[in-house]
Every structure is written in structure tokens, then in C-alpha cells.
Amino acid sequence: MRRRLWATVAELLVQTSIDAGTAPMLSSDDFDCEPPSNIDDHQLHESSVAPPTPNPMNHFTETTTQILLQRSLPVRLEIARYLNHFRSDGSYSTALRLHAELSHVLGSHARLLDLASHPSASFIFHKKLFTLLTHRFFIALHQLFALRAPKDATFSTSRTVCFSSSVLLLSLAQPSSPAPDLPTDTNAATASAFVSSSQSSSSSRSARAPSSTDRWSDDFARLMCRGAGMFGEATLRAAIAVGFEVVVQHRRRNRQHAPTYTCPETQASGLGDTEAEAEDKGRQAVEGFVRLSMERIRIVGDLFKSNLLFVVILAMVNSSEGEEEARVKFVMRENLHFWLEVLKERVEEFSEDVVRGGLGSQTPVAAGNVWTGETEVVQDDQGGNGMPAEGAGDFQWFGMDSDIGFNFDFTNAAQVMQSFDGLY
């Protein structure tokens, strides 16, 4: 049990180091605790005199994932220190070395998970969680180098790794059952397009984000819809990486400023040989994030800004160069109008709850706070407490604005277009 507790503390430490951008408070040389035993919870008893016999690693238990996370902890701690310590050399050779070490460890873990494969919902949840908590380190490690890849082929490995890892994480966040496709027509590619066309204007304030509780009912999908901290940050970071790549490829292809981008790692990563194939995968991943962000808005009330950003990106890649600005303006206007109606409805619901005394000891959301983006307390559709209203939506875009002019200022649609100038 003590080993389980220590493994949990150490895992939270390395994850929060990535979230907060601070160096971890310990290294692998600071502790010698062994991973916990591969046993199920029911094998632990207070009355037991001898410890239970561990199961082999090809037998999945409630501790298997924690053991695998603990085995990859040393290299992930080193990655967190490389990224956040003020004395880090920041060299690309070090990044590639750390990537190779983590890839080797996770490769052996993947084989163990395949051997321990179990059809239970618990195994599926554990495997998805393990993938999220480990592969997000690839994105953090390579993202800054990937931003330089459009101009410098030296960093093509980072470009491919960052893109493929981001697509993988975004696929994890989707519900297990199929979700409806987003419209391909840019004129309809807005949040408001999901509202029934038969809905009258008198009932427009009752508009809801497109959602089906059944589609998002599996445990991991519910976690991604409600989870804050590492869960919101990981998907947002992945979506930004994919969105960046999709727009760069789209603009290159449309303007024909460069030949089709191909690198040796493309085939191995499963992205295909051409930009068009990678762009299609990226577009699907962005559409998935838009669906996820709309569900989070419905339940939690955050990711408004992120949702708007990626709806705009979809409008850009689904339009020709000459019509981009007009389409983006249309999408922004319709998207903001739709979510304004959703916010108004939420305020009315909270006000009704206050009158009925339904919020108990919690402080209701004030209308003024909603409009200024300073909401502190929300309620989800299950009656539980929510997270800060903007949460991961306040993320500072990972330094893209300072490095290469990747600045999304929605006050002027033309600025969105110009944000990508100079990338190619």
C-alpha cells in the first residue's frame, strides 16, 4: 500500500510539472521505492499476515497501469527537468535522446499491455489513461522544435512525432460510439449549425450544444468532458499542435509555395506519404476536439475561446484562399452568437436554482461574471461542482505568439489570416 501511495504522489508530481511549467521537485536519484505489486484491491486485507503473491505482468490487475507508469517515471522526470529547469541546455540532441529513451520504455510497455489485454471496460479505461499520461510528454518535448520545422527540415522528426502523438491523444478523448460528422460546408461549419433548423426564434434561448449523453457515457469520455488540470491541458496542447500543422499544410498546398512535404518518419508514424493525407487526419482530429469542447461547454462551462479558435481553423482549411476571410468572419459571428445564447440560458438556469434554493451552500454564477469571463463556480449536469469556467481555455498558446507570430486575436478576422504569414 505504501508503494501505491508513493507511485501516486510521484506521478502527480511529474504531471503537474508539465502543467505548471516548473522543474520537478525530485529526480529518480532521490528515491529507491520499488513499484507496487501487481495485485488487485481485493487481495489486500488488514488481517493478512503475509503479503499477497503478485500476479505475473501479463495478468491485468488494478495495479498494472500504475506499475508501468512507475517504470517510465525516471525518463519522464528527466524530460520535465529538461523542459522546465533554468539550467537545462535545451539542445535538440538532448531532446532526441530523451525521445529515444521514452520510446524504448513505452514500446516494452505496449507489448505487456497487449499480452495482458482484457475486454473489460476497466482495462480499456486504464490503457487510455496510460497512453494519455505518457504520450503527452512526446508533445511537450517536441512542440517547440516542431514549430521550426516548416522553415528548417532539421526538425522534421519533431514535426512528425508531435503531430502523430497529438492525433493519438485527441482520438482517445472521443466517445467509444460513433459521433456525427461535422459539416464539410464551411457556411454550415459553425456551432449554430448543430441547432435544429426548425427551432423557432422564441425558443432560441433554449439552444443546447450538440450532445448525446449516450455517446459520452463511457468512463474515459466522461473524464475528458469533466476533468480539469492535466486532462484539459493535454487535449488542448494536442489540439493546438494539430491545428498548427493543418493550417500550415493547407496554406502551403493552396499557395503552392513549397513542394509536398515528406520526411522519412512519415510512413513509420502512420501519417501517410503526402501532406493531403496528414491534413485529412489532422482535420478529423480538430473536428473531434470541437465536439469535445462543445460537450465541455454544455457540462462544465469552459473552453469557449478554444472552441472558437478551432472552429475558425476548420473554416480556414475548408475554404479556398480567396474566400478565407469572409468565411472566417461568418463562422466567428455565428459561433459567438450561438454561445451567447447558451450563456444566457445558463445564467437563467442558475437564477432559477437560487430561487428554488437548489445550489445549497454553493455561490451561484453572477451574470456579470459570465460576461467578463471570471466565472468561479459552475454546476455540471449531474449536480456536482464544476471547474473554473475558463480553465484550460486560458492557456497561453505555448509561446507561439512570441516565436513566430502565431497570435490569435479575434477582434479582426484579417489578423487571424495574417497570423500564419511567415510560417512558410
Q: Which carries the bigger pLDDT value, residue 408 or residue 150?
A: 150
Report whether 379 contacts 359 (CB < 8 A).
Answer: yes
Crossing angle, helix 121-146 and helix 219-226, to 10 degrees? 40
The C-alpha cell at 418 is 495574417
212-237 pLDDT per residue, tens: 455 666 788 889 888 888 888 899 99
Residue among 339, 337, 376, 342 at smallest CA distance from 359: 376
144-164 pLDDT per residue, tens: 999 999 889 999 999 999 999
237-288 pLDDT per residue, tens: 999 999 998 888 887 777 764 444 444 434 333 344 466 777 788 999 999 9
Q: Which carries the bigger pLDDT value, residue 325 or residue 188?
A: 325
The pTM of this model reads: 0.71
CA distance 361 to 357: 9
Among the ranges given (3-7, 15-19, 99-103, 314-318), the one the predictor scored with the smallest mean pLDDT: 314-318
Predicted local distance difference test score (pLDDT) of residue 357: 66
Taking CA atoms, 294 is separated from 61, 168, 185, 191, 272, in Å, by 34, 20, 19, 8, 30
CA distance 264 to 139: 19
Checking phi first, is residue 346 left (phi over 0); if not, alpha (psi -120 to 50) or beta? alpha
The C-alpha cell at 233 is 491541458
In the predicted model, is pLDDT for residue 193 greater than 80? no
Report whether 244 contacts 147 (CB < 8 A).
Answer: yes
CA distance 223 to 18: 19
Percent of the chain whose predicted confidence (pLDDT) is above 70: 68
Helix (H, G, I), strand (E, B) or coil at 385: strand
Helix (H, G, I), strand (E, B) or coil at 76: helix
Residue among 173, 183, 171, 165 at smallest CA distance from 311: 183
Structural domain boundaries in the chain: 176-418
Report whether 242 contacts 163 (CB < 8 A).
Answer: yes
Predicted local distance difference test score (pLDDT) of residue 206: 36
CA distance 317 to 247: 6
